């Protein structure tokens, strides 16, 4: 997902170029504005964290671009491509990462990535119809 700061900063095209150069296919995409309730549900795992209210406000502040990426080892390769959560740290430790190039700070880090096959399944089917989501793998039964 390209987060509101990424879309507003006109980073969608350069991020998509990085996606294609890194060997991913984009099987689904959708530009939409998340309301607060949707963000609360999407990031439910962080509901008890102190940064949650701020995260909800940030993620509902403008359009986001949701994409389903396909590739062998897509989850770990995408997490490597985006870099660490804190964009300021990414600029030092992973200067070629997407968050280093496009992110602003710990919160406004430009992109999201699923962190496991289970969360990828949950997040893809959160936004896209199961049968058309393009999610086909042995994890499909999870």
Q: Which amino acids are annotated as binding site for ATP, given as ranges? A: 3, 51, 79, 85, 99, 109
Cα 73 to Cα 23, 43, 117: the distances in Å are 11, 23, 10
Residue 112 found at the interface with ligand RTP (CB under 6 A) = yes
Residues 66, 100, 113, 124: which binds ligand RTP (CB under 6 A)? 113
By CB under 6 A, which span of 4-12, 20-28, 65-73, 101-109 interacts with ligand RTP? 101-109
- Rounded to the nearest 5 degrees, what angle is found at the Cα of 93, between the Cα atoms of 87 and 99? 30
Whole-angstrom Cα distance, residue 55 to residue 139?
A: 29
69 near ligand RTP (CB under 6 A): no
Distance of CA 10 to the CA centre of its chain: 16
Which of residues 15, 109, 123, 127 is near ligand RTP by CB under 6 A?
Answer: 109
Give the residue numbers annotated as catalytic, written as ranges.
112
């Amino acid at each position: 997902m390209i987060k509101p700061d990424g879309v507003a900063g006109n980073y969608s095209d350069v991020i998509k170029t990085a996606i294609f150069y890194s060997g991913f296919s984009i099987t689904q995409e959708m530009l939409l504005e998340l309301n607060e309730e949707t963000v609360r549900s999407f990031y439910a795992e962080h509901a008890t964290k102190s940064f949650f209210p701020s995260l909800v406000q940030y993620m509902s502040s403008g359009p986001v671009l949701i994409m389903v990426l396909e590739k062998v080892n897509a989850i770990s390769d995408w997490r490597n491509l985006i870099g660490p959560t804190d964009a300021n740290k990414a600029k030092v430790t992973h200067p070629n990462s997407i968050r280093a190039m496009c992110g602003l700070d710990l919160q406004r880090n430009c992109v999201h990535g699923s962190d496991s096959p289970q969360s990828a399944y949950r997040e893809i089917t959160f936004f896209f119809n199961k049968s058309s989501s393009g999610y086909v793998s042995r994890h499909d039964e999870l």
